[in-house]
Structure 1
Amino acid sequence: MQHTRAIKTVVLLSGVLLAAPLLAQAVYRVVDEQGRVTFTDNPASGGDEVEVAPLPNVSSSRTAAPKASAETPKRSAPGRPFMPYDRFMIEKPRDNARLSRSTTAVELLVSPRLRDDHQVRLRVNGEISQSALHSEAFWLANLPAGTHRLQAELLDSQGRVRHQTPPVHLTIEP
């Protein structure tokens, strides 16, 4: 139950963060009596206004996967056994990177390509930062100054963690 609520909060926050710059609306951060944080566009909620910076685009240098043809079986066929990946690591930023800005792209190297029924989630300092997505790139925004530990987790079609990347440390300079 707590995990489902956390996922809903992350999805809601992601939607608010992505939509806010497009709609030019204010976003408010509200903390309830139990310490749970929610975000809203309702100023009557009693929350503090949050400045939301627009996220830059992520461009991948990888070539797109070919489209499936009638002869090619769909990769996400039910019951397909889990097959390990040869490479699963954070490619950017590099370990021990020092950044002067608090927003950065996180790019993964996954080989062979990420299966359709697998997802990746990102942890920052051991906490889930980005909910599971079928993506090899994430954005981290508003990281506080200091050293942070990044690690990505590969989830199978059942949501089980099957791989973890080696940790990558980065420092945001004040």
Structure 2
Amino acid sequence: MRLIILITLLTLSFSSFAAVYRWVDENGKVHYSDEPQSNASEMELNKNTQNTISINPPKLLNNNSNQTNSNINYSVAILSPSEEATIRSNTGTIKVSASISPRLPQGAFYTLLLNGQIKVQPQASSMFTLSNVDRGEHTIVVNVVTQNGKVLASSSPRTIFLHRASL
């Protein structure tokens, strides 16, 4: 039984060394095949035609990378609205934009606090839109937090005034 399997495997391996033929048809299109054609020429294949992929070994992350982020002093600033700005919006919409210096670290997000309460869930964008805010005086703060909720940086509180028409 082993002899039959060995002969079959050898026969299959010898048949895998088939020649490759190249020919050009009457339209000028180039064709390749393992079967000879009338105007085909046999091609010699170089051993370097095989594709190889090299995979770099993964870089190990050490626990010092989190300590590096905590040693950096991040600075968050609210770009708009300005301090003590009066916003007139009958729908109660307030648009807030902020910036961070240096760049937002990987795995960190922005949050917006209105009057000390988180009004916008953590997000990667520094642009916020608050809707249906009551009229009056409000304090806004933008925080940069890590995924586990640790505050990396916080903007200084900014006081704004919202004017809305009342019924």
TM-score, length-scaled by structure 2: 0.54
Q: Which residue does 2:110 correspond to in 1?
A: 120
Q: Which runs of 5+ in 2 are unaligned?
A: 1-60
- The answer to whether 1:89 aligns with 2:77 is yes
The CA deviation at 1:95 is 1.0
1:158 aligns to what? 148
Closer, same or farther: CA 160–98 of 1 in aligned 2, 3 Å: same
Tell me by how many angstroms 1:98 deviates: 0.1
Q: What are the equivalent positions in structure 2 for 1:162-173 lying under 5 Å apart?
A: 162-173=152-163
Aligned equivalents of 1:117, 1:78: Cα separation in 2? 16
2:128 equivalent in structure 1: 138
Percent sequence identity is: 22
- By how many angstroms is 1:137 displaced? 1.1
Judge conservation of contact 1:116–1:134 (CA < 8 Å) in 2. no
Give the ranges of 4+ consecutive aligned residues of structure 1 lying more than 2 Å apart after TM superposition: 83-87
Hey, what's the Cα distance between the residues in 2 that align with 1:107 and 1:121? 11
Q: RMSD of the alignment, in Å?
A: 2.0
User: 5+ unaligned residues in a row in structure 1: which ranges?
Assistant: 1-76
Q: What's the CA shift for 1:85?
A: 4.3
In the alignment, the residues of structure 2 paired with residue 78 and residue 139 of structure 1 have an alpha-carbon distance, to the nearest angstrom, of 38
> What is the deviation of 1:159?
1.8
Counterpart of 2:99? 109
Structure showing greater Rg: 2
